[in-house]
Amino acid sequence: MEAALLAWFAEHGRELPWRRTRDPYAILVSEVMLQQTQVARVVPRYLAFLRRWPTVDALAVTSPGDVIREWQGLGYNRRALNLHRAARQVAGEGWPQDLTELPGVGRYTADAVARFAFDRPVLPVDTNVRRVLERTGADFGPASAHALMDLGATICLARVPRCENCPLAERCPSRGRRYPAERRQSRFEGSFRQRRAKTLRRVAIRALPAAELDAEALSSLAADGLVQVREGFAALPDDSGSEFRLS
């Protein structure tokens, strides 16, 4: 099965910018952005992010507020803070052997950076890879990581897999099966997540009196470290500790 998968990938694999580098920083940026965000949305933001901060040292010396501003529109803004904290840790101490020691880096992200940047013999298992593994019941090595991701993203889909186009279909025990719809995420429109996002967007433009903002959303953002509230004003976190932009 693995040979068939790799042959398919050589012809049909997706051309993605983070696949053209072995820089662990660039790969970490891509993996953090791809958490809960679609590839098509990530590509232009990834390129813009690396143009602004091309190295881990460049990101480490900027302010967390600037990183949050750059992240606007990607959602789940705590990822921006964790990425910034990870950059500072790496800039000060180097890349740890156990990458889960970095802020916001779980097992999958650690394995992805280990595989794609450091060429370690580990297979990163995300949702798409897990789906292919479970349906085929086959064993695949680390060299198949990108191929498994692409197969799960484009062919072995969650509900109605495209078995007629799958290079593994002939030996797949799940061929022809259909699956129930997965539980959808709660709607963003009208949700507390939307209130948080709206509040953060306003504060990202300039510091504002806390009394003018959604109090519950502001409290939640402050608890996550995404905003600071001092002397009655809310602003993005800044290393100076006092430079609130009031105009």
Choosing from 11, 31, 216, 231, the catalytic residue is 31
At 219 the pLDDT is 97
pLDDT of 185 reads: 66
Beta-carbon count within 10 A of 63 CB: 15
- What is the strand order of the sheet 228-230 is part of? 208-209, 233-235, 228-230
Question: pLDDT in tens for each of the 247 residues of the chain?
Answer: 999 999 999 999 999 999 999 999 999 999 999 998 999 999 999 999 999 999 999 999 999 999 999 999 999 999 999 999 999 999 999 999 999 999 999 999 999 999 999 999 999 999 999 999 999 999 999 999 999 999 999 999 999 999 999 999 999 999 999 998 877 767 778 889 999 999 999 999 999 999 999 999 999 999 999 999 999 999 999 854 433 333 3
Quick one: 209 exposed, middle or buried, by C-beta within 10 A (0-12, 13-18, 19+)? exposed
Contact in structure between 209 and 33 (CB atoms under 8 Å) = no
CA–CA separation, 25 vs 29, rounded Å?
Answer: 6
Sketch out the chain's domains with CATH numbers: 23-116 (1.10.340.30), 192-235 (no CATH)
Active site residue 31: yes
Counting Cβ atoms within 10 Å, is residue 205 exposed (0-12), middle (13-18) or buried (19+)? exposed
